[in-house]
């Protein structure tokens, strides 16, 4: 939504550049940094003032109309969404190894686990 607010303030602040590498589509997000602190800041300030007014007055209809306007998806954003979904990588498994201290041996020892969901579960169960 903030992207839409900034684009509404001045479309030249944020622009998408679509490219193709091999058989995959990519995009670059070009940001005009000189206008971020001036034009974009003013646009966000006006948006937050409108939001505060609608919230304070409890004007659901006007707030819904405003949010529906900012939530509308144009062709450019649909293309960006399609590229993001096509290039999506699997979620990384955060696996934390453990260090144990055995009472019979004063040296701590490191124990690693398989990078699978079973390894994550085993790591948590042995840690707690």
**Alpha carbons 53 and 22: distance in angstroms, whole number:** 49
Q: How far apart are the first and last CA of the chain?
A: 41
pLDDT per residue over 63-102, tens digit each? 999 999 999 999 999 999 999 999 998 888 888 899 988 8
Whether 48 shows a pLDDT value over 90: the answer reads yes
Q: What is the pTM for the complete model shown?
A: 0.64
Distance CA 10, CA 44 (A): 11
Q: Are 2 and 14 in contact (CB under 8 A)?
A: no
Q: How many CB atoms are located within 10 Å of the residue 94 CB? A: 8
């Amino acid at each position: 939504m903030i992207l839409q607010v900034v684009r509404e303030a001045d479309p030249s602040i944020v622009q998408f550049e679509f490219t193709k590498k091999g058989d995959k589509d990519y995009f670059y997000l070009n940001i005009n940094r000189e206008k971020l602190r001036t034009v974009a800041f003013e646009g966000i300030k006006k948006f937050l003032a409108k939001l505060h007014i609608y919230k304070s007055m409890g004007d659901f209809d006007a707030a819904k109309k405003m949010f529906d306007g900012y939530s509308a998806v144009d062709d450019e954003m649909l293309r960006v969404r399609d590229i993001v979904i096509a290039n999506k990588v699997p979620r990384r498994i955060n696996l934390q190894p453990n260090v144990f201290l055995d009472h019979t041996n004063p040296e701590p020892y490191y124990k690693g686990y398989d990078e699978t969901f079973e390894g994550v579960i085993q790591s948590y169960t042995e840690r707690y």
